Copies of this chain bind each other. A is one copy, B any other.
């Protein structure tokens, strides 16, 4: 499956979340990662995030898609997808 992860977490945990997600997904821009994952990877990502965030204060949304969606980039692409495809 293909996932897009967006997070809005306290500044104290931002770097930890970013470092964790970078091990699994492609960094798109500030607070956004995406990538193709297996079901097992997806579960590991969810479990890992739950350990890092404060569930009372932080928010992470994971969109689950069947395949990579169409995407339009306006302005500058901070980290072009072509680099990894």
Give residues of chain A (34-76) contacting chain B, Cβ–Cβ below 8 Å. 46, 49-50, 53-65, 69-76
Measured between alpha carbons, how far is A61 from B65 in the docked complex, in Å?
Answer: 16
Determine whether the beta carbon of A50 is less than 8 Å from that of B74: yes
In the assembled complex, the CB of A8 is this many whole angstroms from the nearest CB of chain B, namely 4
Measured between alpha carbons, how far is A71 from B62 in the docked complex, in Å?
Answer: 5
Determine whether the beta carbon of B57 is less than 8 Å from that of A75: yes
Is A77 in the interface zone, CB < 8 Å from B? yes
A53 — which chain B residues lie within 8 A by C-beta? 74-75
A54 — which chain B residues lie within 8 A by C-beta? 75
Is A21 in the interface zone, CB < 8 Å from B? no
From B9, B69, B70, B78, A8 is in contact (CB under 8 Å) with B78
